[in-house]
Amino acid sequence: MVRIDLEKSIETLKKCIVGIDEDGKYTLDREKVNSLRFDFAFFRVNLALKNGEMTEESFLNILKEELNKKENK
């Protein structure tokens, strides 16, 4: 069985973040990476949330930090 690395999955999704919509939800653009990589990364992060490896709040903080970095460039 192949192991999908959580850290690499988070890094993949960080590459996809484009902003926050009018409802305050983070927007990801799957076109920024290979579609299969996006699907695996999204699956892995959802699995981590479901299994308690990370909280939704901690994941949103990661996205928030990445978005701040992109906006400050």
Rounded mean pLDDT of 4-8?
A: 92
Q: List, for residues 17-62, the tens digit of each pLDDT value.
A: 999 999 999 999 999 999 999 999 999 999 999 999 999 999 999 9
Q: What is the DSSP letter of 31?
A: G
Number of domains in the chain: 1
In a domain, 34, yes or no: yes
Beta bridge partners of 20: 26
Q: Distance between CA atoms of 54 and 45, rounded to whole angstroms?
A: 9
- Gap between the Cα atoms of 52 and 18, Å rounded: 26
- Identify the pLDDT of residue 71: 86
Find the domain containing 44 and state its range: 6-71
Is position 1 within any domain? Answer: no
pTM given for the model: 0.87
- CB-based contacts of 28: which residues, under 8 Å, 6+ apart? 13, 16, 17, 18, 38
Torsion of the alpha carbons at 55, 58, 63 and 69, rounded to the nearest 10: -170
